[in-house]
Structure 1
């Protein structure tokens, strides 16, 4: 390089150091909020996912004549390859589908169960005094339900053969694709956790995971990544269907692997698995209805929050002010107290539907002190009562809309990759309680409490918004914030997701004991878009507030809205790598 050019570049570097990008604000916009961007409009089909290539895969399937379900499966398969930091066929799946032919919402619970051969007493013995299941290794692994979910949805609503739906992901797995920036960051975070002293020892076998994902350390942004083992697994599914995964060669490979490393899942666990079609429940709010799936997921917590908040006039409050944040956070805390007490596998614990009544919402709202946080609200009742993620949504030319969420839990999952299959087992079983009196207590062949929840909003009896906001306990409170942004404050679909969020953590948890007492009011995390005056006011009220600017704990949002004229509106957001594609 010639010296004048080198000197100029050096001067530019020095100038950049003195005037960092952090000091340069956003540009302007001709319409809408300065901190957002335009929604995407499309007439024939649309897809919003956490990866641009997956969104394009969905559109390609729609153009080939596939239904929204076909496109959602194709996109989910691509994301299992491209975003293994959040999902994959080693995990579970939940979906809400609007079918225009029957004019009905359908829900699917594709969550797997704990090993039948691992008793509660044996688990307690293995934990050796620990008060919870570990985050990694074989103990928290439950049967993966995602593949079952694909084939159940396809059997009911698919138009293309599964080999066509899986073909794009197979090609990308074999030929490779460039890793995107946010996913590269999550690769690094997961690798650091897997190799951290004290955690690495929980993983019985890590060589397979290293060979599959970390052969040269965590993949970097722009690096070409391949997964030929996953391509082979997808080819087997394309040829032999669901049976291969739960009763055929893939099931035997997974069982043999678990037996080899001292795990507990066996062939019989895979063969016994079946997901189920379930009925979504809805609550009204400001002229619309939010619909969620029943437990063992946490979707009903969002419905409880709205039933509390409908007793407040949020629209009259300053959206950036302390009053609305305090009110919404207290509603969240009240709903999550019930979540910690009553949400569990419905096969073993009946959910008290009184929790979703408007009268109960009024009772809980009456507990909120407008001046300070509640000290220890506790759950309602008593009534007798026997977790990182990817979200995507697709809509097609016929009006079918799919809201789908899929996860391994805790980022990539357990750290265990079965021999030659190219995916990681989930660690969802970590969300069991060890309290023998808790509805969510561990038991063999039982589904754990689940964090992943798809959402769907209706208006005047018609499908309106298919959406989700991934990210552990952030999800119900995120769903509610999106609804409030749209219905109370008139934000468009894109702005509703881009607006600064809060994430409250703390309080009782479904993994704890029934007699747990929260030590404090928890932690209220907010994004930098919340004014500092509001942060200070909330602290003065007694909230433990921190400002976090990396977006990680605030989830990732995708949404599709159907207008009255049939045109779709799509949105995704800056906290993930995704885009909206349409045609």
Structure 2
């Protein structure tokens, strides 16, 4: 029997005929991504939102990241250098994404919340075609997926074989979980049967999270960080998000004339990479949950301070940027604008691909491993403590002019998130790129993406081979060329709002889609 599979799965939700707006679209998209892109995101993860409300002409940030268990302690990891990267001892923070959907929908949405979850429920129950990305990461993580029965049952054929591109995958357990959330709202997830099932599963597997931890969770509406750049205002989520790094890179870059420089030049990449390294040093020293430690963003993003930091970019006494910054760092980004002028950016993640590797019982829900980001160093700002949010690689950006949003930019990819976002913004504002050209053009990555320990500078293979030598002559170390269109530099999506049109762009490195209705 032939079946008609509608793809992508959310056009009906964002259709103006249904009365939905950009916020409704992003609830639907992110709920659905957790079904069809389960290796990178889902209801078991965290999220950060940026929202421009056209009615009030104000910007809002929503911190939908979860805190650690009230019962967690460094003693749980005695004689360990770091927190478990997989398994129950990595799933020590409450998933915040679901509350983010509910909060955004309640405050700014038009459609009923249940309407927004229909596409996700449908694809979980009826099935969806497996994407090349999902198939690839299934094969690469086969050992992890086989390591626990509930995970193998959910994501492998007969608990053994990985799905291939084009295969139909179903997750009917997740469909039932999403139906409960659709019918009962956030309380079903944080105070009802879903929380109970998750915590009972973790307890049976020596986990730490409790029902009380879930009940105590609450997303926070917070004020976005702002930075003036070339006469525009760039905003990003505040700590515990690393949005401060994106703004710091731009704040230093503003002290250089890059308008005449091609981003294919070693000089531009040298300046940009050194600005990134300096931004990462400050991030690594201070980024934390602001409810536990003050994060001095007003000082770190002060114009005078960044002017002094910019001088260090050309200081010969400063060592190679590939050395001296900490190891940080997956994820989906989506964005939308609507006919009323509302604009939304959402970055949502399980942290590493497949998160903790644990599907919680019969919920169909894959739990994140964001707790592995905490430090066990008692002197670290991001040290593990009870009821604390970890520092987050998740961030997204919006550029505003005098009339409202001009660009919405986001990218997944660990260390690459602030780098890619700042690079796209600079390419458009400084170098005159169209938004799709800015995303398509060759990129670079200082540091690592998810699950890596690489400390060097990597360039996509479309850069000329002599670029490596040129950068080494400028003092860089560990420079290498990678694939022409590489997952390692992340996946970016963006929208550019112009006077007479809107341009949307999706990354050719991923399976994203730019579309309008």
Instruction: Give the TM-score normalised by the residue count of structure 1.
Output: 0.82
Find the aligned partners of 2:374 and 2:216 in 1 and give their Cα distance.
Answer: 20
Q: Secondary structure at the match of 1:366?
A: helix
Larger radius of gyration: 1
Partners of 1:392 and 1:326 lie apart in 2 by 30
Q: Contact 2:260–2:431 at 8 Å: present in 1 too?
A: no
The equivalent of 1:65 in structure 2 is 19
1:239 has 2:183 as partner:
yes
| 8 Å CA contact retained: 1:345, 1:447 | yes
Find the residue that maps to 1:347 and give its secondary structure. coil
What do you get for the CA RMSD once the two structures are aligned?
Answer: 2.1
CA separation of 1:209 and 1:444: change in aligned 2, threshold 3 A? same
Whether contact under 8 Å (2:10, 2:28) holds in the other structure is: no
| CA deviation after TM superposition for structure 1 residue 194, in Å | 4.9
Distance in 1 (alpha carbons) for counterparts of 2:77 and 2:468: 43
**What is the correspondence of 1:115-154 to structure 2 with a 5 Å cutoff?**
115-120=69-74, 122-125=75-78, 129-141=79-91, 142-154=93-105
| Counterparts of 2:460 and 2:218, CA distance in 1 | 40
Structure 2 counterparts to residues 433-512 of structure 1, below 5 A? 433-505=375-447
Which stretch shifts more, 84-93 or 529-538?
529-538
2:509 is equivalent to residue 575 of structure 1? yes
Map of 1:19 onto structure 2: none
Structure 1 394/52 Cα, relative in aligned 2: closer, same or farther at 3 Å?
farther
Asked if 2 retains the 8 angstrom alpha-carbon contact of 1:334 and 1:378, the reply is no
Distance 1:394 1:314 in 2: 29
Look up the match of 1:157: 108
Alpha-carbon distance in structure 2 between the residues aligned to 1:317 and 1:71? 38
Superposed counterparts of 1:214-363, under 5 Å: 214=156, 215-352=159-296, 353-363=298-308
The alpha carbon displacement at 1:370 in A equals: 6.9
| CA deviation after TM superposition for structure 1 residue 231, in Å | 0.6
For residue 490 of structure 2, what is the aligned residue in structure 1? 555
- Structure 1 residue 461 displacement after superposition: 4.8
**Is 2:133 aligned against 1:182?**
yes
- In structure 1, C-alpha distance between the alignment counterparts of 2:257 and 2:319, rounded to whole Å: 20
- Unaligned regions of 5+ residues in structure 2, if any? 1-5
Provide the secondary structure at the position in 1 that maps to 2:390. coil
Instruction: Please say if residues 59 and 582 of structure 1, whose CA atoms lie closer than 8 Å, have aligned partners that are also in contact.
Output: no
CA contact (8 A) 1:304 1:361 kept: yes
The answer to whether the aligner puts 1:56 opposite 2:11 as a matched pair is: yes
TM-score under structure 2 length normalisation? 0.93
1:194 & 1:163 partners in 2: Cα distance?
31
Give the whole-Å Cα distance in 1 for the aligned partners of 2:444 and 2:417.
Answer: 11
Change (3 A) 1:94 1:537: same
Q: Does 1:393 align with 2:348?
A: no
1:137-173, Cα deviation, whole Å (9 max, x unpaired): 1112110000100111011011111221111111111
Aligned residue in 2 for 1:22:
none
The CA distance in 2 between the partners of 1:249 and 1:542, in whole Å, is: 57
Q: CA deviation at 1:372?
A: 8.7
Cα deviation digits, residues 168-218 of structure 1 (max 9, x gap): 1111111111112223212222335556xxxx5xxxxx1100000113422
Matched with 2:66 is 112
Deviating runs (4+, > 4 A) in structure 1? 192-195, 370-373, 375-379
Q: Does the CA-based 8 Å contact 1:373-1:541 persist in structure 2? A: no
Matches within 5 A, 1:204-215: 206-214=148-156, 215=159
Whether the 8 Å contact between 2:12 and 2:18 is mirrored in structure 1 is: no
Higher RCO (CA < 8 A, seq sep 6+): 1
Equivalenced residue count is: 500
Per the alignment, residue 3 of structure 2 pairs with none
Q: Give CA deviations for 1:215-240 in whole Å, capped at 9, x if unaligned.
A: 34221111011110111011101111
Q: Deviations over 1:346-394 (max 9, x none)?
A: 1001111200011111111111237796258869xxxxxxx41011011
2:119 corresponds, among 168, 176, 194, to 168
* Aligned counterpart in structure 2 of residue 526 of structure 1, from 440, 456, 459: 459
Contact 2:10/2:25, CA 8 A, preserved across alignment: no
In structure 2, C-alpha distance between the alignment counterparts of 1:536 and 1:219, rounded to whole Å? 42
Task: Write the distance in 1 (CA, Å) between the matches of 2:278 and 2:63.
Answer: 26
The CA distance in 2 between the partners of 1:486 and 1:58, in whole Å, is 30
